[in-house]
Amino acid sequence: MHPTCLLKYLGQALASAGLTDASGEPLTMQPHDFRRIFITDAVMNGMPPHIAQLVAGHRVIDTTMGYLAVYPREVIEAHRAFIARRRVTRPGEEYRTPTDEEWDSFLGHFERRKLSIGTCDRAFSTPCTHEHACLRCAMLRPDPAERPRLVEIRDNLIDRIAEAKREGWLGEVEGLETSLAGAEDKLAQMDAATARTATAVDLGMPGFTQIAGRASDT
């Protein structure tokens, strides 16, 4: 929708609502005012200002604070005081600048999480506690692009189970069957992820409903 068109409809809505400003003049609004209203509502309802800053896409919190015309300074001051109080209760060590080695280790963690059929989602600085049995592990986020590789692994497991049964290696059958169940589960996760991204969701057009005697967005 063109901004001019939006402005026209906004003017018509305000005129028909009969709203006036503090001096009694007909109220005028710009589409940008909705950003102020949204941020104001969010902060007044408990969203921390630094999160509101990220939501609004402001590079510095001073821009978010520029909305002071519409929300009270005490909201920001109260949140800053909360952050300051919280910091004094935490060890100072948590707020120091990381060393180069720590930073490299942090970045390295994300590189080392890449696996042949997806990504390991375990938390930073935690070891693998599942002996790298990734197929059976809930921490593995399978990558749909690696489906052919996983199908190959699944088919190989089926062959190995048949071979183990044929040769009488019954001790191996149970473990291989657990891995096979894991492979089938990861394949299902991949297919579900593909189906989600391939499905367009029609959200329809916004409308208005009357709730408790006043109009509200739906």
Q: How far apart are CA 95 and CA 87, in angstroms?
A: 8
Residues in the site for ligand SF4, rule: CB under 6 A? Answer: 120, 122, 128, 130, 132-134, 137, 139-140
Min dist CB 110 to ligand SF4, Å, is 13
DSSP secondary structure string for all residues of 110-176: HHHTEETTEEE-PPTT---SSTT-GGG-TTEEE-GGGHHHHHHHHHHHHHHHHHHHHHT-HHHHHHH
Give me 28's structure tokens.
Answer: 């005028």
CB 46 to ligand SF4: min, Å: 35
Closer Cβ to ligand SF4, 65 or 184, answer by number:
184
The dihedrals phi and psi of 121, each to the nearest 5 degrees, come to -100, 15
Q: Are the C-beta atoms of 3 and 31 separated by less than 8 Å?
A: yes
Residue closer to ligand SF4 by CB (options 4, 126) is 126
Q: Which is nearer to ligand SF4, 133 or 151 (CB)?
A: 133
Output the smallest distance, CB 136 to ligand SF4, in A.
7
Q: Is 211 helix (H, G, I), strand (E, B) or coil?
A: strand
Q: Which is nearer to ligand SF4, 80 or 154 (CB)?
A: 154
Please report how close the Cβ of residue 201 comes to ligand SF4 at its closest, in angstroms.
30
CB of 194 to ligand SF4, least distance (A): 20
How many Å apart are CA 76 and CA 44, to the nearest integer? 10
Residue among 80 and 141 whose Cβ is closer to ligand SF4 = 141
